[in-house]
Amino acid sequence: MTEQNNPPAPTKKRRPPPRPAVVEHIERATPGVVRVTFTGDDLASFGQTKPGGHMKLFFPPAGQPVDLAPDAPRPPSRTFTPRRYDVARARLEVEFALHGEGLASNWAVGARVGDSMLLSGPGGGYPVPEGVRHIVIVADDTAIPAAGMIIEALPRDCEATLLLEISDIGDEREISPLIANRPTWLHRAPVGARPGTLLEVAVGALPPQAADTAWWVACEAAAMRRIRDRLLKERGVAPARLHTRGYWKAGDQNYPDHDYGAD
């Protein structure tokens, strides 16, 4: 019997350590949205992200310094979209949607200038189809920052239809100065709608779209799947023209950030 040499096990890719940053500016954009700008020397290497890309924020306990040792346990994290990144000034803007009690919401409400944060990323993102002429963007509160990034990455002659679901009229805001037409705002509060329900209804009420229309859908995971199913089966949207993301899931405090609804 000859001796067999087993191939070595593949080494697990080591992720770079999170970057330290501090809060430079805080703005209450709407009653339900806190906009935070982070800065720090390490953000100079953060890098540009694709539209709708993601990153992780690690939330250290209040009042405690950030431990940057390689073997230090990482604080609990949540996934966010980096809304704007200014490489020249090493500044990163993040929007926090306030959804009641929760790690990120509680931090955002109590955040102060000078507070410490750890950030990792960016990664992922939406590759805007080359030459796209029309896109339908379907998003709830949590995905509006990503929707703004996508708008700003579209070709100049691309028309965008935006269906945006928020808590109530007080959370309407400018998504991007590049939007030529006003979004369709859907307010949950007056009717007590379950998250995603208004988006489902609005998608169903849209007139027939051209076959080459691109679709970007990002919202609560269960609602995203229902919308995805409807678009594929009832609307006949080609899978290649449809990009879906479950940004969060009702009842789950830390939902995975790679739910594309393709299961």
- Section 195-224 average pLDDT: 96
Regarding whether 84 and 155 lie in a shared domain, the answer is no
Of the candidate ranges 95-99, 111-115, 138-142, the one whose mean pLDDT is the lowest: 95-99
Decide if 262 is inside a domain: no
> CA of 25: how far to CAs of 36, 81, 113, in Å?
6, 17, 6
Regarding whether 170 and 205 lie in a shared domain, the answer is yes
Which residues fall within 8 angstroms of residue 172, CB to CB, at 6 or more apart? 30, 166, 185
Regarding whether 117 and 146 lie in a shared domain, the answer is no
Single out the residue in 123, 148, 170 at which a domain terminates: 123
Total structural domains in the chain? 2
Q: How much is the pLDDT for 155?
A: 92
For residue 85, which amino acid is it? Y
Report how far residue 19's alpha carbon sits from residue 34's, in angstroms, rounded to the nearest whole number: 22
> pLDDT per residue over 132-176, tens digit each?
999 999 999 999 999 999 999 999 899 999 999 999 999 999 888
> pLDDT per residue over 168-194, tens digit each?
999 999 888 877 668 999 999 877 889
Q: How much is the pLDDT for 186?
A: 96
Q: How much is the pLDDT for 3?
A: 40
Regarding whether 237 and 138 lie in a shared domain, the answer is yes
> pLDDT per residue over 76-87, tens digit each?
999 999 999 998
Regarding whether 77 and 161 lie in a shared domain, the answer is no
The mean pLDDT of the chain is 87
Decide if 10 is inside a domain: no
Quote the domain boundaries for residue 158. 134-248
Regarding whether 220 and 170 lie in a shared domain, the answer is yes
> pLDDT per residue over 46-94, tens digit each?
887 889 898 999 998 776 767 777 778 888 999 999 999 998 899 999 9
Q: How much is the pLDDT for 1?
A: 38
Decide if 7 is inside a domain: no
SS3 letters across the chain: CCCCCCCCCCCCCCCCCCEEEEEEEEEEEECCEEEEEEECHHHHHCCCCCCCCEEEEECCCCCCCCCCCCCCCCCCEEEECEEEEECCCCEEEEEEECCCCCHHHHHHHHCCCCCEEEEEEEECCCCCCCCCCEEEEEEEHHHHHHHHHHHHHCCCCCEEEEEEEECCHHHCCCCCCCCCCCCEEEECHHHCCCCCHHHHHHHHHCCCCCCCCEEEEEEEHHHHHHHHHHHHHCCCCCHHHEEEEEEEECCECCCCCCCCCCC
Please give the order of strands across the beta sheet that includes 116-123. 77-80, 54-58, 116-123, 19-30, 33-39, 91-97, 82-86
> Per the confidence metrics, is the pTM higher than 0.85?
yes
Regarding whether 181 and 203 lie in a shared domain, the answer is yes
> Over 80: is that where the pLDDT of 254 sits?
no
Q: For position 193, which CATH number holds? A: 3.40.50.80
